[in-house]
A = this chain, B = another copy of it.
Amino acid sequence: MSAYKAPLNDMQFTLHDLLDSDAHYASLNSPESLTPDLLKAVLDNMAQFSEEVLAPLNQSGDDEGCEWSPEGVTTPAGFKEAYTQYVEGGWPGLAVDSAIGGQGLPPSIGFYADEMVGTSNWSWSMYPGLSRASVRLISEDGTDEQKRLYLGKIVEGTWTGTMCLTEAHCGSDVGLLKTKAAPNTDGSYSITGTKIFISAGEHDMAENIIHLVLARLPGAPDGTKGISLFIVPKFDVNEDGSLGERNAVQCGSIEKKMGINASVTAVLNFDGARGYLIGKENEGINSMFIMMNAARVGTAMQGLCMGEAALQSSVEYAQERLQMRALTGPKNPDGPADPIIVHPDVRRMLLTQKSLVEGSRAFLYWLIMQVDKDSYGDEEQRSDADIALALLTPVAKAFVTEVGLESANLGLQCFGGHGYIKEHGVEQIVRDARIATVYEGTTGIQALDFIGRKVLGTGGESLKSFTRVVNKYCKSQQDNAGVADMVTRLQELLEEWGELTMVIGAGAMENPDEAGAASVDYLMYSGYIVLAWFWLQMAEVSQRKLAAGEGDARLYTAKVQTAQFYFDRVLPRTLSHAASIRAGAASTMAMEAENFYLG
Contacts and interface: CB of A to CB of B under 8 A. Distances in A.
Interface size class of A (residues with CB under 8 A): 35 or more
A328 B513 contact: yes
A346 B173 CA distance: 15
A598 B516 contact: no
Given A337-B176, A421-B255, A598 B555 contact: yes
Contacts of A318: 596
Nearest to A575: B575
B345 A517 contact: yes
A431 B430 CA distance: 9
Interface stretch (A95-103, A238-246, A294-302, A583-591): A583-591
Contacts of A348: 517, 520, 588
Contacts of A40: none
Contacts of A9: 598-599
A5 B599 CA distance: 7
Nearest to A347: B588
A520 B345 CA distance: 7
Given A255-B421, A552-B598, A587 B575 contact: no
A43 to B, nearest CB: 12
A599 B10 contact: yes
A350 interface: yes
Interface stretch (A185-193, A309-317, A379-387): A309-317
A27 interface: no
Interface string A248-271: 000000011111000001000000
A511 interface: yes
Nearest to A517: B344
B258 A171 contact: no
A410 to B, nearest CB: 11
Contacts of A589: 344, 347
B568 A345 contact: no
A576 interface: yes
Interface in A429-443: 430-431, 434-435, 437-439, 442-443
A406 B591 CA distance: 21
A504 to B, nearest CB: 12
B569 A312 contact: no
A399 to B, nearest CB: 15
A594 interface: yes
B327 A513 contact: yes
A224 to B, nearest CB: 11
Nearest to A351: B588
A290 interface: no
A536 interface: no
A593 interface: yes
A580 B587 contact: no
Nearest to A508: B327
B319 A596 contact: yes
Contacts of A591: 347, 351, 558, 561-562
A195 to B, nearest CB: 12
Interface in A310-359: 311-312, 315-316, 318-319, 322-324, 327-328, 331, 336-337, 339, 341-351, 354
A86 to B, nearest CB: 23
A121 interface: no
A431 B311 CA distance: 20
A5 B447 CA distance: 33
Contacts of A511: 328
Contact of A316 (B319, B580, B597): B597
A288 B471 CA distance: 58
Nearest to A555: B598
A345 B434 contact: no
B427 A258 contact: yes
Nearest to A558: B595
A437 B409 CA distance: 11
B422 A257 contact: yes
A205 interface: no
A57 B413 CA distance: 29
Contacts of A573: 576
Contact of A558 (B347, B417, B569, B598): B598
A448 B345 contact: yes
Contact of A197 (B349, B417, B422, B448): B417
Contacts of A139: none
Nearest to A439: B417
12 contacts: A5-B599, A9-B599, A170-B323, A172-B323, A173-B323, A176-B336, A327-B513, A339-B593, A347-B517, A351-B596, A554-B595, A561-B590
Q: Which 5 interchain pairs have the tightest Cβ spacing?
A: A344-B516, A572-B579, A568-B583, A327-B512, A258-B427
Given A172-B324, A345-B520, A349-B444, 19 more contacts: A10-B598, A166-B417, A170-B323, A255-B423, A256-B423, A315-B597, A327-B515, A328-B513, A343-B516, A344-B517, A344-B588, A348-B517, A348-B520, A351-B588, A431-B431, A555-B595, A558-B595, A561-B591, A575-B579
